[in-house]
Amino acid sequence: MARYLGPKVKLSRKVGVPIADLPKHTAKRQLNPPGMHGYRGRRLRDYGLRLNEKQKLRYHYNVLERQFRRYLAEASRRPGNTGELLLQLLERRLDNVVRRAGFARSIWAARQLVAHGHVMVNGRKVDRPSFQVGLNDKITLKAKVQPMARDAMESMVGHIVPQWIEVNPSELTISVVALPTSDQIPFDVNTNLIVEFYP
C-alpha cells in the first residue's frame, strides 16, 4: 500500500492553501512557497493552474495519483456533474468521514485509525481508508481508542460537523444521513479546472 510519508507542511506551502486544519498548516508564514526564497513573482500558466487545483484536492484527501484518476474515471462514468460527483466520492471515504466527525485531527490520523482496525461500519470492522460509506451507515469506534477520539474532539474547539453526517459525542458514533453536496465541503477548490486537466 503506497502512501506519502514526506513532510506534510511542505505540501500546504506548495499549493498555497492549508490542506489540514492544524495550526502549523494554517500559520500565515507557512503559505509561502517552499525553498529558501520561494517562487517570487512567478505566475502560473493555464497548465500550472489546473495542476495546482488537482494537487490541492489530492493532498487534502491524502490520495495518490493513480487512485485519484480512478475516482475521476468513476465520476465521469456516472450521470451528472463530473466535478461534483468526484467531490462526493472523495468526501465519502471512510477516513475522511472520521476526520469530518472530529474523531481525528487530520486526514493522516484518521487514516491510521481506520487502517489499524479501530473503526467499525454497521458493526463490522473495516480497515480500508478508501471504503465508501453509504446512506444510513452507522460508524462506531472500538472501546480502546475512544479516549483518544474524545481528546481529539476536545482539542478541536469550534470544529463544524457537516450536515450530511450526525455525530453522537456521548457514544462516539457517526450516522450518514444524506449524501454530501459540493456546498457542504469545507475546502475551496475549482472542480472544473480539475476535470479540464485530464484529457
The predicted pLDDT at position 1 comes to: 57
Three-point CA angle 40, 7, 129, nearest 5°:
125
Average pLDDT over residues 166-195: 90
What are the structural domains, with CATH classification, of the chain?
9-90+186-197 (1.10.1050.10), 102-179 (3.10.290.10)
Cell numbers linked to 93: 471515504
DSSP characters over 114-128: HHTT-EEETTEE---
> What is the model's pLDDT at position 37?
64
Mean pLDDT of 8-31: 79
pLDDT tens-place string over residues 101-128: 999 999 999 999 999 999 999 999 999 9
3-state secondary structure of 10: helix
49-69: pLDDT as tens digits: 999 999 999 999 999 999 999
Cβ neighbors of 55 (< 8 A, separation 6 or more) are 14, 15
Phi, psi of 176 (to 5 degrees): -90, 110
- Please give the pLDDT value at position 14: 84
Within 8 A by CB and 6+ apart from 119, the residues are: 94, 98, 113, 125, 126, 127, 139, 140, 141, 142
pLDDT for 76: 94
Q: Indicate if the pLDDT at residue 30 is higher than 70.
A: no
For 60-114, give the DSSP string.
Answer: HHT--HHHHHHHHHHHHHSSS-HHHHHHHHHHTBHHHHHHHHTSSSSHHHHHHHH
